Structure 1
Amino acid sequence: MSNAPITEIDIAAFTADPYPDLARMRAAAPITYVPQLGATLLTRRDDIHVQEKRTDVFSSEQPDGLMTLLMGENMMRKDGVAHLAERRILFPAVSPRTVQEHWKPVFETAANRVLDRLAPRGGCDLVTDYAMPVSAEALKAITGLVRMTPAEMDGASQAMIDGCANYAGNADVTRRCHAATALIDHHIDLMLSDPPPRSALAVQMQGGLAMTSIRANIKLVISGGQNEPRDAIAGTIWALLSHPEQLELIRQGMASYADAFAEYARWVSPIGMSPRRVARRDTVGGVTFEPGDRVFLMFGSAGRDEAHFQAADRFDIRRDTQAAISFGAGPHFCAGAAASRCLIAEIALPLAFRRLKNLRLAGDAPFSGWAFRGPTSVPVAWSL
């Protein structure tokens, strides 16, 4: 265990709103051990930005970690040559060029189909009725698991995310995660004989990856490619509707939906944490880490670091977000970043505001989570 100063938290309060505790950590103990999480947290942006790249110390290889045990050893749980080799094989499915030329029309068609069904209703829950199916349809295409329903895709992603954050060892959470991974394996098996061109399944098979790696990486893509875009779509729309003066900036051409998404991802990081295992003894910021220590890189805290963002608790789409590391900063920078930006900023946000006239909030939007964070419901209405 590291010799970091100890910070106690209330798990329920931290899940409901982690930002007050994270601000307290950044100010008083930016590298701190939290007994309730069984990990040492790095909370300042610059520490995370530097240490994430030092994979010889803060390793992604976690053979006994929850993600590896539940989902298999995917490329996110590998470093160095092993990680780079699998990332290169997957790249043709998610490259910026592939996204713009191949996936963007698919995303737009799917989002319009969802809106065709929603528009006559006059109201919905943005999370379940719009953001979820839009995100799921995009992910079905990218993974190649086109026979999954949106509900199956969303449920499998949530079950895996819950499993990977199940540090309390809840047996029901583990059971649901195993059921989700079995469902994904079933759908992989259905597509093995004819994987859709350019899909993650197709390019990995063409690249000669072992089937165990293909399965693990597909699960990784789902766990990182469904809930996070879903929550960012619904969350960014909520943020703009809650700050009408900022939405007006977009309408006047003084800002863009890309600005809104970048600011939302800084402000409410959909991926709030990434775990690491200490591979060798080292000292950072006066804290000595021992081999085997569990470390959490708190991206949700980095986005509100006062050293880089003035009035960091305020949503402001005019802000310079260049210092934000919402998609990571090191060799594990999110491989799906281009697809996420395209789906959210170029398709889901503008289409929602264009097609749902006089879109407005119709109730409270509760948020939850610290490792993964987003709204659990965003009720809205619009004019018919």
Structure 2
Amino acid sequence: MSVDQTSTPAAVADWVDLAAMVRDPYDTYRRLRELGPVVWVPALKRYLAVSFAACSAIEADQETFSASVRGSSALMARALGAQPMLRKDDPEHASERTPVNSCLRPRSIKANWLPLFEQNAETCLAGLLERGPDEADLNRDFAAPFAARNLIDLLGLRGASPADLTRWSHAFIAGFANLAEDPGIWARCGTARSDVDALLDELIPYYRRTPDGSMTSAMVNSDQPEESVHANVKLTISGGLNEPQHMVTNIVWALSRHQRQRDDVLANESLWSATFDEAVRWLSPIGMYPRQTTRETVLDGVRLPAAAEVGVVVGAANRDPAVFERADEFDLSRAKKPHLGFGAGTHLCAGHWAARISIGEVAVPLLYRRLRGLGTDRRRTEHWQGWVFRGLTTLPVTWTP
């Protein structure tokens, strides 16, 4: 991308209320898109790319838009203690990602991990049933422990419990989004880092002696230094738990508010794949991630200076009406189009197939097969949180015993 005479400076959105975005960002996203594809937000001290075209262009050009973000937006590296692969460009990114790719291909997942996903789903369903239809919280009693058990298996974190994974993931995710520099959040990140580092100090020599098919074993037995293994395991604990658990609750929440579409899915199980994709688009669990310009450039007609910090707001891009008809609606019948819920390009989420299979083919269909009349319980309070990462932290559900 080179600067041209038809480009314009970014519009300024000095009205953005971060607290309102945490509660519900979608009205803010709509107003930002109306201002332009890329907008300067003083409250965040960064540009936000909010159009589908702008976000896609960023992912297609890592030479201009670097994932190796420095300065005030390098929250992920601070939370994890080092730069993970997600904050590196190729060839460094590729060298660290390649060892785990073989663990996460569809054939490998179905051959090696599908039976464990099914076993974990049954175990967590038993816990949900024990709570009963008047007290069950789908996030607390099923989604979070299911995602945590799967992640323990995928990573090979021998000795860790689902409660450990949940605590660590929440601490790291809060650190990634700690734009306000809350010292309590950094303290929790420090505790989580120490816990995971202590576990890996035991597991790294174990996997050198006894390699297996887990992601940690693959990393340990590659050429990456131990610091990178530590950072990338922590990265996987964060995204590998947070997004899958939110996808379980997001799908159930969406279907509970679209009864006709729920009935269509239950009558035709081939629609589960479309249900998963539409939920990821409509309620993107990853709302924003950072990039930084390596030179002065033009993005979707907007001039950006060198070293500009840019937020890639895929939560806004996935509801861009220029790409998706009736973009604010949940619609399983819409024409299939690529979305950015898992990112794109070289940084496409490595675990997207694991999420599709464990959530879209195992967990959510199992819930609807075994819990007659499953839906959200509107007698009790649900709670959404976040925009950098967004999901239901509380989702009361009920069913017919």
In structure 2, distance between residues paired with 1:308 and 1:61: 29
Residue 5 of structure 1 pairs with residue 11 of structure 2: yes
- 2:261 maps to amino acid: Q
Equivalences for residues 1-384 of structure 1 within 5 A: 3-7=9-13, 8-64=15-71, 65-71=74-80, 72-123=82-133, 124-195=136-207, 197-253=212-268, 256-363=271-378, 364-384=381-401
Hey, what's the Cα distance between the residues in 2 that align with 1:95 and 1:358?
Answer: 34
Are the counterparts in 1 of residues 57 and 299 from structure 2 also a CA contact under 8 Å?
A: no
Secondary structure of the 1:50 match is helix
Classify the secondary structure of the residue corresponding to 1:208. coil
Q: Percent identity?
A: 35
Structure 1 residue 323 displacement after superposition: 2.6
1:122·1:383 contact (CA, 8 Å) conserved in 2?
no
Residues 1:144 and 1:63: Cα distance change in structure 2 (over 3 Å):
farther
* Superposed displacement of residue 254, structure 1: 7.1
**Deviating more after overlay: 58-67 vs 122-131:** 58-67
How far 1:122 sits from its partner (Å)? 2.2
Query: CA separation in 2, counterparts of 1:118 and 1:189?
Result: 35
| Bigger mean CA offset, 331-340 vs 290-299 | 290-299
Give the match's secondary structure for 2:21: helix
| TM-fit CA distance, 1:287 | 2.8
- Indicate how the Cα distance of structure 1 residues 238 and 360 shifts in structure 2: closer, same or farther if over 3 A, else same: same
Give the aligned CA root-mean-square deviation in angstroms: 1.6
Aligned-residue offset at 1:203: 0.5
Structure 1 residue 361 displacement after superposition: 1.9
Q: Secondary structure at the match of 1:192?
A: helix
Moved over 4 A (4+): none
Within 2, Cα distance between the matches of 1:321 and 1:135?
A: 27
How many angstroms does 1:120 deviate by? 4.0
Equivalent residue pairs, number: 383
Does the aligned pair in 2 maintain the 1:119–1:355 contact within 8 Å?
no
- Indicate if the aligned counterparts of 2:252 and 2:376 stay in contact, CA closer than 8 A: no
SS in 1 for 2:91: helix
Q: Separation in 1 of the partners of 2:400 and 2:200?
A: 42
The residue type equivalent to 1:368 in the other structure is: Q
1:255 CA displacement:
5.1
Deviations 1:127-154 (A, max 9, x none): 1110000000001111111321112111
The alignment's TM-score, normalised by the length of structure 1, stands at 0.96
Q: Which amino acid aligns with 2:386?
A: G
In 2: Cα distance, 1:120 partner to 1:150 partner:
18
8 A Cα contact 1:44 1:302, kept in partner = yes
2:4 — aligned with what?
none
1:315 match: secondary structure? coil
Task: Quote the Cα distance in structure 2 between the aligned partners of 1:184 and 1:242.
Answer: 39
- Output the CA distance in 1 between the equivalents of 2:235 and 2:193: 10
Residues 267-305 of structure 1 deviation map (CA, whole Å, 9 limit, x = unaligned): 010001110112112122343222322100010001100
Contact 2:291 2:311 in 1 (8 A): yes
